[in-house]
Amino acid sequence: HTILMGRLKGSLSAFSRLQSNMSAWVIDEYGNNGVLRFTEEATAPSISSGDDVLIRVHAASLNPIDIAMRAGYGSILLKLRRDLMSLGQNASEFPIILGRDVSGVVVDCGSGVTHFTPGDEVWAAVPPWKQGSLAELVSLSEYEVSHKPSSLSHTEAASVPYVASTALSALVNAGGLGRDNCADKRVLIIGASGGVGTFSIQLLKAWGAHVTVTCSHNAEGLVRGVGADDVVDYTAGDVAAELGRLEKFDVVLDNVGGGSEHWAPDLLKAWSGAKYVTLVTPLLANTDSMGLLEGGVRSGLALSQVAVKNMCNGVFYRWGFYAPDGPVLDDVSRLVDTGKILPVVEATFPFAQVPLAFQKLEGGHARGKTVISVN
């Protein structure tokens, strides 16, 4: 049995080394859904460094950043990052493959990879500066990859990594929360019915926090189903006033931004280390519109101004960002396999219908995740 498995893994590995083309959805320019193009001749990734892991994609999922990147969001900063990775050899960033989540099977590994072997079922969040998962194959570094929870199908698993990595980075690094300090914490999630929200509710409940959320009336069943304690319908009236009648919070995670960044910090317990963390930041949009230097400086100034103003009121104001982190996904995998976190898949599209999946996501009102079954 061991010899047979070894041969199977060896042949998977050899096969991947030979494959030079693959099927993928690519974009050759920025724009609306019309720029998405299916091809069977995309350049297949290969093992180019010792810590690379090559994954055959079984399922992917879409995030708001895919819609935004299709239209050029972050192009300047992301191109800089890509150029640094390829030492400035690429004049153009195109063709770009979108798709930030993958669940699949390892087909090849670099010589220095220690945690994975061909045949392993894995999941990962693909950083926006790397080629995405709307493709047959994706290549990531070992540090970005994690063993997929065995209790989930690939389509279920693909709904989790990007929102999980974002939520964990925001709640832990920016919000100061963790599995050991949540028992007496009150957390407010603004915009809880989408991907990040439905994951964050479950994570915070697994850590023992009290979770209040805002969402539309028709999402109440969903958010209560995944554990929300208190639910405020933001469509029913003055949501800030309604939330102001509740006991104050230790952390606010804002998935909506805009006006909420002005009223939500007032809902925090002052002078107690409480934090407002927003995922809706102007950094990439500013560098797109003003260039790297001016956009970066303006964003930094805006952040420090708001941060100082909030500090004077006794609360912290922070930006949250997605961060690639395979070991963090290992922890999430355990929470999933012990039933503490469930995937929330709203819709699954076949690979042939990727543009329809984009259209669905672009329509807004997500209730969990939109997943693509790749093969």
Residue 295 as a binder of ligand NDP (CB under 6 A): the answer is: no
Among positions 132, 149, 195, 326, the unique one binding ligand NDP when judged by CB under 6 A = 195
Q: How far is CA 266 from the centre of its chain?
A: 28
Given the complex with ligand NDP, which of 320 and 343 has the nearer CB atom?
A: 320
Stretch of 201-209, 275-283, 286-294, 295-303 contacting ligand NDP, by CB under 6 A: 275-283
Given the complex with ligand NDP, which of 107 and 188 has the nearer CB atom?
A: 188
Minimum CB separation of residue 374 from ligand NDP in Å reads 20
Tokens of 119: 């045949």
C-alpha to C-alpha distance for 128 and 130, rounded to whole angstroms: 5
Residue 363 as a binder of ligand NDP (CB under 6 A): the answer is: no
**Close Cβ partners of 334 (under 8 Å, ≥ 6 residues apart):** 149
C-alpha to C-alpha distance for 79 and 77, rounded to whole angstroms: 5
Contact (CB, 8 A) for 250 and 224: no
Contact (CB, 8 A) for 16 and 108: yes
**Close Cβ partners of 97 (under 8 Å, ≥ 6 residues apart):** 24, 25, 26, 42, 131, 132, 133, 134, 135
Stretch of 49-57, 105-113, 214-222, 294-302 contacting ligand NDP, by CB under 6 A: 214-222
- Count of residues that bind ligand NDP according to CB under 6 A: 27
Minimum CB separation of residue 232 from ligand NDP in Å reads 9
Among positions 256, 332, 335, 374, the unique one binding ligand NDP when judged by CB under 6 A = 256
Among positions 31, 225, 365, 375, the unique one binding ligand NDP when judged by CB under 6 A = 365
Among positions 30, 38, 143, 321, the unique one binding ligand NDP when judged by CB under 6 A = 321
Q: At what angle do helices 161-168 and 195-206 cross, to 10 degrees?
A: 60
Residue 328 as a binder of ligand NDP (CB under 6 A): the answer is: no
Stretch of 21-29, 37-45, 61-69, 264-272 contacting ligand NDP, by CB under 6 A: 61-69
Position of tokens 């004077």?
312
Residue 310 as a binder of ligand NDP (CB under 6 A): the answer is: no
Cα radius of gyration (the chain):
21
CA distances in angstroms from 362 to 5, 62, 319, listed in the order given: 44, 10, 24
Residue 281 as a binder of ligand NDP (CB under 6 A): the answer is: yes
Given the complex with ligand NDP, which of 30 and 38 has the nearer CB atom?
A: 30
Q: How far is CA 183 from the centre of its chain?
A: 26
Parallel/antiparallel/unpaired status of strands 21-27 and 36-43: antiparallel
Given the complex with ligand NDP, which of 322 and 349 has the nearer CB atom?
A: 322
Minimum CB separation of residue 187 from ligand NDP in Å reads 15
Residue 63 as a binder of ligand NDP (CB under 6 A): the answer is: yes
Q: Quickly list DSSP for 262-295.
A: HHGGGGBPTTTT-EEEES--SHHHHHHHH-HHHH
Tokens of 120: 């392993």
Stretch of 60-68, 79-87, 129-137, 327-335 contacting ligand NDP, by CB under 6 A: 60-68
Stretch of 9-17, 58-66, 71-79, 114-122 contacting ligand NDP, by CB under 6 A: 58-66
C-alpha to C-alpha distance for 168 and 213, rounded to whole angstroms: 17
* Interface characters, 79-118, with ligand NDP (x: CB under 6 A): ----------------------------------------
Stretch of 130-138, 174-182, 242-250, 319-327 contacting ligand NDP, by CB under 6 A: 319-327
What SS3 class is residue 303? helix
Minimum CB separation of residue 180 from ligand NDP in Å reads 25
Residue nearest to ligand NDP (CB): 194
Among positions 13, 103, 255, 310, the unique one binding ligand NDP when judged by CB under 6 A = 255
**Close Cβ partners of 12 (under 8 Å, ≥ 6 residues apart):** 107, 108, 118, 119
Residues binding ligand NDP (CB under 6 A): 63-65, 163, 166, 190-191, 193-197, 214-216, 234, 255-256, 279-281, 320-322, 364-366
